[in-house]
Amino acid sequence: MNRLTATEDKLPASVFGLPTNFLKMKETDDNDKFLHEENKKREATAPDGSIIEIDPMQDYFCDARPQVSEPYKIKIVEKFLNWARSESIWVLGFGTGCGSIEIPPLVTPRFDMFRYGVQMRPTPRQSNAFIISGYLSVKTLKRVIRSYEQMQSPKYVIALGSCTINGGMYWDSYNTINRLDQYMPVDVYIAGCMPRPEALLAGFGKLKELIKTGRAEKANEYVENFDWYKANQKKIIKDWNMPDYNW
């Protein structure tokens, strides 16, 4: 009996179904109701013993708006930079739909995308191209936006498959978006359901051509029409619980 009372004292409040900081939690307004537990406003004890208030959405994330990346002033340098960019397209390893099955063959010797300077990277911080491979559910779109905004400019988006163009065979689904360009800027579309790996290689060729001629400026378009894109995104992502722009 004694042992039981002793352990009960040590147990955190979450064992009894309450969040651990239940007593410290404040009343939240409507915008905060979807926030995860770790992102809610709370009070914490600093190392010197004083109690400080933490608002993670303000304190942990940058709230600066994205900026347009201007081309280099000297034209020939910009041209050289564009050539260099076109020769190293690093793709984020993020498969959204059935099209993600078409990407692994590109890594095999038969198609070998490395010869074009295209390779897969594990994190958005290291990559500059995003392949939206097929249908996109609203839940995935939320993750896609977060990953896309973390990528460094200049960045490019390749939309693979007809689902990204007009919804494809999922055009009347309650859960998949119809047109990707309403939520993200798209540089190259690859039509088909599903496109073969050769079509993807052709898409990379087209993207390279665009970059070399300085026309792959969709990341800047996203920045210029930031409010329009955000409004569209928030229209369908109803539990918006992340910062508006995250780096």
Partner 1 sequence: MKNFIKDLGYKFNISEIEYQRKNLTFLTIDKENVVQLLAYLRDYEGFKHFVLMTAVDWIEDGIFQLTYILNSPEKKIDLGIRTKILREKAEMTTVHHLWNQVATYQRELKEMFGIDFPGSPRVDESFILEGWDNIPPMRRDFDTKKYAEETFFPRPGRSTNDPSEYMKQKLYPNE
**Residues in contact with partner 1 by the rule CB under 8 A:** 34, 137-139, 142, 165-167, 171-175, 177-179, 182, 232, 235-239
Contact of 85 with 76, CB cutoff 8 Å: no
- Give the burial class of 79: count Cβ atoms within 10 A of its Cβ; 0-12 exposed, 13-18 middle, 19 or more buried: middle
Cβ 239 to partner 1 shortest distance, Å: 3
* Cα distances (angstroms) measured from residue 176 to each of 15, 192, 242: 38, 17, 21
Task: Return the number of the residue (129 or 188) whose C-beta is nearest partner 1.
Answer: 188
Cβ 181 to partner 1 shortest distance, Å: 9
Task: Return the number of the residue (165 or 219) whose C-beta is nearest partner 1.
Answer: 165
Cβ 236 to partner 1 shortest distance, Å: 6
Determine the residue type at 104. Answer: P
Contact of 211 with 82, CB cutoff 8 Å: yes
- Give the burial class of 66: count Cβ atoms within 10 A of its Cβ; 0-12 exposed, 13-18 middle, 19 or more buried: middle
Task: Return the number of the residue (94 or 189) whose C-beta is nearest partner 1.
Answer: 189
Cβ 223 to partner 1 shortest distance, Å: 21
Task: Return the number of the residue (8 or 239) whose C-beta is nearest partner 1.
Answer: 239
Q: How many CB atoms lie within 10 A of CB 19?
A: 13
Determine the residue type at 207. Answer: L
What are φ and ψ of residue 65, in 5° steps?
-75, 155
Cβ 179 to partner 1 shortest distance, Å: 5
Contact of 187 with 158, CB cutoff 8 Å: yes
Task: Return the number of the residue (39 or 69) whose C-beta is nearest partner 1.
Answer: 39
Cβ 33 to partner 1 shortest distance, Å: 10
Cβ 238 to partner 1 shortest distance, Å: 3
Determine the residue type at 159. Answer: A
Task: Return the number of the residue (128 or 176) whose C-beta is nearest partner 1.
Answer: 176
Walk across the sheet containing 156-160 and list its strands. 118-121, 89-92, 129-133, 156-160, 188-190
Task: Return the number of the residue (43 or 239) whose C-beta is nearest partner 1.
Answer: 239
